[in-house]
Amino acid sequence: MPEKSPYHGPALFGYGFRPFFLAACLFGLGAVPAWILVWHGDLRLGGPFEGVDWHVHEMLFGYATAVIAGFLFTAVPNWTGRLPLRGWPLVGLLVLWLLGRLAVAGAVPLPWWAVMILDSLFLLAISTAIGREIIAARNRKNLRVVIPVALLFLANVIFHLEVALTGSSDHGRRLGFAVIIFLVMLIGGRIIPSFTRNWLAQRGAARLPAPFGRFDALCMAAGGIALLVWVAAPAAFATSLLLGAAGLLHIARLARWRGGATLASPLLLMLHVAYAFVPAGLLATAAFGTGNPAMGLHLWGIGAIGGMTVAVMMRATRGHTGRSLIAGPWLAAAFWMIVAAALVRGLLPGSAAAGLDGITLSALLWTVGFGILSVRITPWLALPSPARRSPSRHPG
């Protein structure tokens, strides 16, 4: 547990999860409607990216990196026992993230290479800040967490370079997806069985989730290798085999965590459901490959990344602000809206309902979900907590 020290500034900048979870919620609320306007030709952005590239980039390197930053700046103090980053350093990092979003959208008139530098500084700053804290605490085993952030930095640079040199992203896009999905595998594989075990043990359950072991290591290795091969050679037959094998392994991994026993705890159930989109995306990408890449990408992007980040933000925000770990009907509704958006966009993009095509319907579901989420948790993030609670009990 980090040592205590008085903080007298705004509550929003008192802990890492507060500004970045809020930024992610509001950005998730606005970015998808903006994308639909771009897709329909009603909005044109002035940045270096056109259409789909802007949409993909901003959901991976805008939305997702904000959640990752909030998670890490909250988890690292628990690992190191040092004071959390707060106050002006958090303000500076949030401004850096915002400048990246404005530059990519063309609101800041800069040449493409300057946009790339400005946009990449945020991930570089996160790596530096986290690495410094871990080294200062002599907690070097956790330095490995810097590696995925550094890989995201690399993926972002590649994304910018590819668009500037070839006109569209390719390897950078897939590497961004691969790194974040691997993070879902890694972090989800730690917190989901742990939280489930604690909850079931409190209720005297005889069967508990399997602890992390060799099988989990095998699943992680298979998933990591399959994703890296997919980044390099998405159309290869061997890639499909590796992705399919990894998908089956991760289904078995998820089954060992006893998700079916968590129906009475929606906040826990959300984590299990969100993780299920990881193997779903693996299997869809294996089956359809380059013939229909949108299916796997949206099962991953909306279901796994969107679902997991929303579930983590809900749980961490309630826990770290002294509230009970109960979702309530509104947060549950917000999460299931995200799940519905993933299923519609991934499986039924050509469908139509109430005069809306599947893509627009999915965007509407996502937006309503994030609207509910933002209304519910914005006051919790921006205002002082009603009670103090040990952050170490609710890591990340």
- Top mean-pLDDT range of 23-27, 131-135, 347-351: 23-27
User: What average pLDDT does the chain have?
Assistant: 92
Contacts of 42 (CB under 8 A, 6+ apart): none
* pLDDT > 50? residue 396: no
The pLDDT confidence band at residue 390, using thresholds 50, 70 and 90, is very low
* pLDDT > 60? residue 104: yes
Cα separations in angstroms, 382 against 15, 23, 126, 130, 344? 11, 11, 22, 23, 33
Residue range 240-260, pLDDT digits in tens:
999 999 999 999 999 999 999
Handedness of CA 229, 277, 213, 132 (dihedral sign): positive
* pLDDT > 90? residue 391: no
Helix (H, G, I), strand (E, B) or coil at 357: strand
Name the strand (E) or helix (H) holding 353.
strand 352-353
Q: Determine the average pLDDT of the residues in 154-161.
A: 98
pLDDT of residue 222: 98
Cβ(296)–Cβ(284) below 8 Å: yes
Q: Token pair 């594989």 is at which residue? A: 189
* pLDDT > 90? residue 385: no
What are the boundaries of each domain within the chain? 8-169, 180-396
Cα separations in angstroms, 244 against 26, 30, 247, 284, 387? 35, 34, 5, 8, 47
pLDDT of residue 26: 98
Q: Determine the average pLDDT of the residues in 96-102.
A: 97
- 232 is written with which tokens? 């390099």
**Gyration radius of the chain's alpha carbons:** 20
3-state helix, strand, coil in the chain (%, to 5): 75, 0, 25
* pLDDT > 80? residue 165: yes
DSSP per-residue string spanning 113-178: HHHHHHHHHHHHHHHHHHHHHHHHTT-GGGGGGHHHHHHHHHHHHHHHHHHHHHSS-SHHHHHHHH
- Top mean-pLDDT range of 1-15, 253-267, 283-297: 253-267
CA-based nearest residue to 239, from 221, 227, 224? 227
Q: Determine the average pLDDT of the residues in 18-39.
A: 96
Cβ(361)–Cβ(277) below 8 Å: no
Q: At what angle do helices 17-39 and 88-105 cross, to 10 degrees?
A: 10
Cα separations in angstroms, 234 against 122, 183, 288, 296, 342? 29, 20, 11, 12, 22
pTM of the model: 0.93
Q: Token pair 């509550």 is at which residue? A: 11
Cβ burial of 209 (10 Å; 0-12, 13-18, 19+) is buried
Phi/psi region, residue 111 (left: phi>0; alpha: psi -120 to 50; beta: rest), is: beta
